[in-house]
Amino acid sequence: MDDEMKSEIIRAKGGSHEAFVNLIKPLELQLYNTARSIVKKDEDCADALQETILKAYQSLETLEQPAFFKTWLFRILINECNMILRRRSQVITVDHVQDIHHSTPNVCESMDLHDAVYRLEEVSRTIVILHYFRDLPLRQVAEMLDLSEGAVKTRLHRARNTLYEWLADYCERKIKV
């Protein structure tokens, strides 16, 4: 982190709105792309970004080490995205109920990689998205999620095995049809 960014963080913590905007502006595209890869829908992306920026602004004084600003901000974003996904999973639309009722008993019939990733448990899904879809190194993923690098590697390994099982099973069924 350069000295200019550190001074902007200090100014923002002191109450400068302009300094906070200067910190967020260069990260907007990365934040959007990360949110988009997690929540998929543009309206959910906008909600996640808005809540992230608001929460970051309101709790900037809790940031102890300016060097971790970006990691701290992305952790807030990931938590917001996961909260949106949890809320979305609790809401079942009438169309979805009709689709389930009329579909075959096999849920994985039309599963592709993205669908499979979104069926993973929350932490594993986030790790896969950040590492493979956003091309972040495992060390940075571990920092963002406040996990050890070993834990991230283990979860990533388990997620890959789960995805392989789901997708291999799907491919075998597809060939037999």
Total count of domains within the chain: 2
pLDDT of residue 83: 93
Spatial neighbors of 111 by CB under 8 A, at least 6 apart, are 119, 166, 167, 170
pLDDT of residue 103: 47
d(CA 52, CA 55): 5
Distance (Å) of CA 40 to CA 7, 66, 84: 35, 30, 11
Q: In CATH, what number is assigned to the domain containing residue 151?
A: 1.10.10.10
Out of 39, 71, 92, a domain closes at 92
76 within some domain: yes
Average pLDDT of the residues of the chain: 84
Residue 94 has pLDDT above 90, yes or no: no
What is the arithmetic mean of pLDDT over 76-97?
Answer: 76
- pLDDT tens, 57-78? 999 999 988 889 999 999 999 9
99 within some domain: no
**111 and 170 co-located in one domain:** yes
d(CA 71, CA 172): 41
Give the domain extent around 78.
1-92
Contact between 68 and 146 (Cβ < 8 Å): no
**76 and 6 co-located in one domain:** yes
Q: In CATH, what number is assigned to the domain containing residue 19?
A: 1.10.1740.10
Contact between 77 and 53 (Cβ < 8 Å): no
Give the pLDDT band (50/70/90) at residue 113: confident
- pTM of the entire structure? 0.71
**66 and 114 co-located in one domain:** no
Length of the chain: 177
Contact between 111 and 169 (Cβ < 8 Å): no
Contact between 81 and 48 (Cβ < 8 Å): yes
168 within some domain: yes
133 within some domain: yes
- pLDDT tens, 128-175? 999 998 888 999 999 888 899 999 999 999 999 999 988 886 656 555
d(CA 111, CA 119): 10
pLDDT of residue 162: 92
Residue 177 has pLDDT above 60, yes or no: no
